[in-house]
Structure 1
Amino acid sequence: MTDLVEMEKRGVIAHLTLNAPQSLNALSDAMLAALKARFDALAEDRNVKVVVLKGAGKAFCAGHDLKEMQAGRDSPDAGRAYFADLFARCAEVMQMIPALPQPVIAQVHGIATAAGCQLVASCDLAVAAEGTRFGVNGVNIGLFCSTPMVALSRVVPRKVAFEMLTTGEFIDAASAREVGLVNRVVAHDALDTATTALAETLAAKLGAAVAMGKRTFYEQAEMHLAAAYAHAGAVMVENMLLRDTAEGVQAFLEKRKPDWS
């Protein structure tokens, strides 16, 4: 049986591939469960320092599985309980990404629509191929992308997010970079190489420091300014007291490579 989310470890970098190309890697019930299982495992894997998330076939991810959602209407409550459970499960998976200790890089090509665009917005970083299109286009079929909106409105300016949500129009990779949805745009045939190079750059840093920094990055963003400084300062104290940080500082002063454990 084919894994819906394949995982390949290249040294300390884990490459996750959404593997349902026939449905444009739609976030079906099974796909969400497979993603959750992978994230649960990675949260405990101290040998993995960076995660790359990509899609098989001609697209990154086309969002929820609409055929599966329509089938959910067949219950006596017209699907109310199923839909509530589906969106709760999807929200749980999206929130697992910033909660992971490792940085997660979305490697995006083709299209990333609706919950697929939400998935890109939920990742810590994103590299997109030229020609990739992004949209929260549920409004075109009468379903406002309210849950994708949560992630999208936290990474792009509000008016950009609102326009995308209400018009259902797509933006291209260059525009996505301009508004902050992706970090880098590269030629399609350079996508894997460029994403791996970024992952290797992150993986070369002290993993404990990056994990502490990632956690604090999201925590302080929800705080008022004074509280954010107090929290971040306390984390820096703990970071400075790490054996490997002491070694890193000393190595810098002595102009040599650090001997990290």
Structure 2
Amino acid sequence: MPDGGRVEAGPVLLRDQAAGGVVTLTLNRPAARNGLSLALLDALHAALSGIAGDAGVRCVVIAAAGPVFCAGHDLKEVRAAHGSEDRGRVLFGRMLARCAEVMQAIPSLPQPVIAAVQGMATAAGCQLAAACDVVVASDAARFATPGVDIGLFCSTPAVALARAVNRKAAMDMLLTGEPVDAETALRIGLASRIVPAERLREEVAALAARIAGRSALAVRLGKRTFGRQVGLPLDQAYAVATEAMLDNMLAEDAEEGIAAFVEKRTPTWRDR
């Protein structure tokens, strides 16, 4: 498909569903450093939209082919659009709107989303990782918002970044464009855990399977409640969380889970 003068060799996004309800979405543009072309953003949005209503999906992994996780928006596509009559206004509007939809779809998804970051995640690629619920970084991973280096401040990546790390750390990354390593990403809250590069896929698969093995009702309720309460004043946060906790305690899965704990057996989830 056309993409900034480039022809893709295959599908830009791969979907794989493992036993237990774990779906892996793999960015598949390694020759373009998995740049978020409009085609890839459209594919991601369509995949996430389909997953949202699929009760058979219990956990989602966003991974990437090749050595780079994601280099952000495809700058060759951007540069080609600058040569059009409107200097790219229509394309850029579509691209940024679709990107915002994808970045909002991830935290809004009922299922937890894990980013498996094997290498560099820059600009909108850093944004993609920051938007996920959990980020597992290889010890070779790097994160950066280097738009300022090319006269393009990373304002939209800043939305997800500022919700993942403290403001000072976010502004440091945004103003300097300097990459941070996996250890720094873990320290400032951009990464959840670090694993050896050669074990990344294995560790992510084990984590996803562990999450998928929990009550889907409890996990989905928990993710939704966390998102609702985290930015509220303390009293409102407790009101939201208390209501959710009450609903959870009355669920069949909570009754089964408590009984299984007391009886020292493995629970059988009904997801209700």
TM normalised by structure 1 equals: 0.96
Query: SS at 1:88's partner residue?
Result: helix
1:144 paired residue number: 153
Q: How far off is 1:80 after superposition? A: 2.8
Describe the superposition over 1:19-44 as per-residue Cα deviations: whole angstroms up to 9, x where unpaired. 01110110000000000111011101
Match among 12, 15, 21 for residue 7 of structure 1: 15
Query: SS at 1:193's partner residue?
Result: helix
1:243 paired residue number: 252
Query: SS at 1:51's partner residue?
Result: strand
2:77 paired residue number: 68
Q: Distance in 1 between matches of 2:231 and 2:80?
A: 38
Is 1:80 matched with 2:66? no
Q: Size of the alignment, in residue pairs?
A: 261
Q: Distance in 1 between matches of 2:92 and 2:245?
A: 42
Query: SS at 1:25's partner residue?
Result: coil
1:35 paired residue number: 44
Q: Distance in 2 between matches of 1:154 and 1:259?
A: 36
Q: How far off is 1:79 after superposition? A: 2.5
Q: Distance in 1 between matches of 2:252 and 2:177?
A: 51
1:159 paired residue number: 168
Gaps of at least 5 residues in structure 2 are 1-8
CA-atom RMSD in angstroms: 1.2
Describe the superposition over 1:46-94 as per-residue Cα deviations: whole angstroms up to 9, x where unpaired. 1111111111011110000111112222344322333233211101100
User: What does 1:1-261 correspond to in 2, within 5 Å?
Assistant: 2-11=10-19, 12-261=21-270
Query: SS at 2:121's partner residue?
Result: strand
Instruction: Kindly provide the amino acid, as one letter, of the partner of residue 34 in structure 2.
Output: N
Query: SS at 1:236's partner residue?
Result: helix
Query: SS at 1:245's partner residue?
Result: helix
Q: Distance in 1 between matches of 2:268 and 2:126?
A: 40
Q: Distance in 1 between matches of 2:268 and 2:16?
A: 28
Query: SS at 2:127's partner residue?
Result: helix
Instruction: Kindly provide the amino acid, as one letter, of the partner of residue 183 in structure 1.
Output: S
Query: SS at 2:169's partner residue?
Result: helix
Q: Distance in 2 between matches of 1:187 and 1:173?
A: 11
Describe the superposition over 1:154-177 as per-residue Cα deviations: whole angstroms up to 9, x where unpaired. 111111110110011001111111
Query: SS at 2:43's partner residue?
Result: helix
Instruction: Kindly provide the amino acid, as one letter, of the partner of residue 209 in structure 1.
Output: A
Q: Distance in 2 between matches of 1:179 and 1:159?
A: 10
Instruction: Kindly provide the amino acid, as one letter, of the partner of residue 174 in structure 2.
Output: L
Q: How far off is 1:194 after superposition? A: 0.9
Query: SS at 1:249's partner residue?
Result: helix
Q: How far off is 1:3 after superposition? A: 2.1
Instruction: Kindly provide the amino acid, as one letter, of the partner of residue 147 in structure 1.
Output: T
Q: Distance in 2 between matches of 1:235 and 1:132?
A: 36
Instruction: Kindly provide the amino acid, as one letter, of the partner of residue 218 in structure 2.
Output: A
2:6 paired residue number: none
Describe the superposition over 1:196-240 as per-residue Cα deviations: whole angstroms up to 9, x where unpaired. 111112112111100010011111123221111111111111111
Gaps of at least 5 residues in structure 1 are none
Q: Distance in 2 between matches of 1:122 and 1:243?
A: 31
